[in-house]
Amino acid sequence: MNQTKIYGHRGAKGRYPENTLLSFQQAILQGVDGIELDVHLSKDGEVVVIHDEFLNRTTDGTGFVRACTLEEIKKFSAGSKFSSLPDYEESWILEKVPTLKEVLQLLAPYPIELNIELKTYTFEYEGIEEKTIALVNEYGNGRKVVYSSFHLPTLLRIKGIDPAASIAWLLNHVISHPLDYIKSLGLESLHLHKDMVIDNLKDWQELKTLVRVWTVNQKEELVQLMDAEVESIITDYPELAIAIRQERAVPID
């Protein structure tokens, strides 16, 4: 039986402030096989790790990420907005929006995989592909990196810059002949919204090694997808997913 890998979504988003060094560190402590994060470009061209195009939801700043320099972005807290999480501590106020370089440096000692989602479907962020690959080459420590995006041209640009790069198309809608896309475009995998897979588990069986599924948080769905032996699950609760996987590994007398 192939063991499904567990990726922490934006670190361990279910318990810690998403896309912060704290969240990534905690996901690593929980024992993830990989982490997923999202990148945008700041006004001065730095690759920064944040989900939205704007600062408002996840930080105490306002405005578009691309309208602020890194120095300006770093003034804001990326932790203070998460006081409703059960484990909230005042020290979270000190969390900042990390750069991709800072995350790569944090990961350096750990042999885990990394999924970098390039958020290029709203703004194009000219040059983000080159900058991201350069940072991975310099600070990636040779780890497996999967570049994903909803915006297919971004993935094709990445492949053009680095033909050996692993690229994954993010999908939340059905496509016809998925294997044709994989082969024709040189995709390493498809990153599929969970509803696309859970409602059609049989249809994806043949492609199970080429599929990562997001964002899976319910126990029943985690079990279903582990039974289906999909390559990886991306979850806000990696601790839960890992515990379920461990339970299933225990032989029954």
Cβ(32)–Cβ(25) below 8 Å? no
Distance CA 128, CA 131 (A): 5
191 binding partner (options ligand G3P, Mg ion, none; Cβ < 5 to 8 Å by kind): ligand G3P
Per CB under 5 A, which region of 17-25, 37-45, 182-190, 240-248 contacts Mg ion? 37-45
Among 38, 113, 188, 231, binds Mg ion (CB under 5 A): 38
Q: Give the ranges where the chain is alpha helix by DSSP (H).
A: 21-30, 70-73, 100-107, 128-139, 152-161, 178-185, 194-198, 201-204, 219-227, 238-249
130: left (phi over 0), alpha (psi -120 to 50) or beta: alpha
- Residue 9's DSSP bridge partners are 36
Q: In the range 178-197, which residues lie near ligand G3P by CB under 6 A? A: 191
According to the binding rule CB under 5 A, does residue 117 interact with Mg ion? yes
170 binding partner (options ligand G3P, Mg ion, none; Cβ < 5 to 8 Å by kind): ligand G3P
According to the binding rule CB under 6 A, does residue 148 interact with ligand G3P? yes
148 binding partner (options ligand G3P, Mg ion, none; Cβ < 5 to 8 Å by kind): ligand G3P
What track of x and - describes contact with ligand G3P for positions 88 through 127 (by CB under 6 A)? -----------------------------x----------
Active site residue 193: no
Q: How many CB atoms lie within 10 A of CB 57?
A: 10
> Six-digit token pair at 57?
């939801």
100 binding partner (options Mg ion, ligand G3P, none; Cβ < 5 to 8 Å by kind): none
